Amino acid sequence: MRIDIVSIFPEYFAPLGVSLIGKARERGILDVCLHQLRDWTDDVHRTVDDTPYGGGPGMVMKPEPWGEALDDIITSGAATGQDQPRLIVPTPSGRPFTQQLAVELAAEPWLVFACGRYEGIDSRVMAEYATRLRVDEVSIGDYVLAGGEVAVLVMIEAIGRLLPGVLGNADSVTDDSFAPGAMHNLVEGPVYTKPPEWRGHRVPDVLLSGHHGKIARWRRDQALRRTHANRPDLLAALDPATLDKHDRAL
């Protein structure tokens, strides 16, 4: 997968050289290209923002540098035989970033992330590229960050670990909270490793029993309990048809 990121702070993305994503890049599974938006300005101050039309606080990112940058990036990909990218714009007013969207984006060959700062990017940029590309404005949660950079790091980590060959054990992806399957829309229950007792806290006996059926049942119970405690919204949205008799009794 190829990922281009445009930002006025490309140094925010140093963590993409580390750990899983860093290794995926070394191994050629992921090709990340960072771009400084200011390289597409043509004034001495390398200006990327201006005051908002209609008044109000803060500054808005000017459309011209974004247009120049995105045109160049899209053309460079076309020159290397790549199709059109999907454009992702992080913003608190976007559609929610979910595991389902991460799975969908992990199947794309090419993503371009456009990181806004200040009050956001002039809306005509999204309107312009929506005539040519799939454009998604995406929010990672109901809070406001200082810019899109950290949101893009979050999305790339969630997407990157789904790429074939990135995780050592392919099962870890299917076991995830929110992963499609039997435990879909439940959060994961607690996990344990050795030793069997630590500071008086024992690992639940069932996990040491070797009884796979009982372990699976216990894990599902724990997932349901945790979802009930921490994410009642998910439980309320659960399709009752996916619950068995034992689940209902909990």
Q: Is 185 in the site for ligand ADE (CB under 6 A)?
A: no
Segment 111 to 140, residues that bind ligand ADE, using CB under 6 A: 139-140
Give me the count of residues in the chain.
250
- The answer to whether 119 is a known catalytic residue is yes
Decide: 218 and 190 in contact? Cβ < 8 Å.
no
Nearest to 213 by CA among 246, 184, 235: 246
- The answer to whether 92 is a known catalytic residue is yes
Minimum CB distance to ligand ADE smaller for 139 or for 227: 139
Q: How far is the CB of 4 from ligand ADE (least distance, A)?
A: 17
Query: CA-to-CA distance for 39 and 60, rounded, in angstroms?
Result: 18
Minimum CB distance to ligand ADE smaller for 91 or for 227: 91
Query: CA-to-CA distance for 69 and 71, rounded, in angstroms?
Result: 6
Is 163 among the annotated ligand-binding positions? no
Of the residues 117, 161, 219, 220, which is catalytic? 161
Segment 81 to 100, residues that bind ligand ADE, using CB under 6 A: 90-92
Query: CA-to-CA distance for 138 and 115, rounded, in angstroms?
Result: 11
Q: Is 179 left (phi over 0), alpha (psi -120 to 50) or beta?
A: beta
Q: How far is the CB of 139 from ligand ADE (least distance, A)?
A: 4
Is 116 among the annotated ligand-binding positions? yes
- The answer to whether 176 is a known catalytic residue is yes
Query: CA-to-CA distance for 249 and 186, rounded, in angstroms?
Result: 17
The contact set with ligand ADE (CB under 6 A) reads: 90-92, 139-141, 143-145, 148, 151
By annotation, the residues acting in catalysis are 92, 119, 161, 176
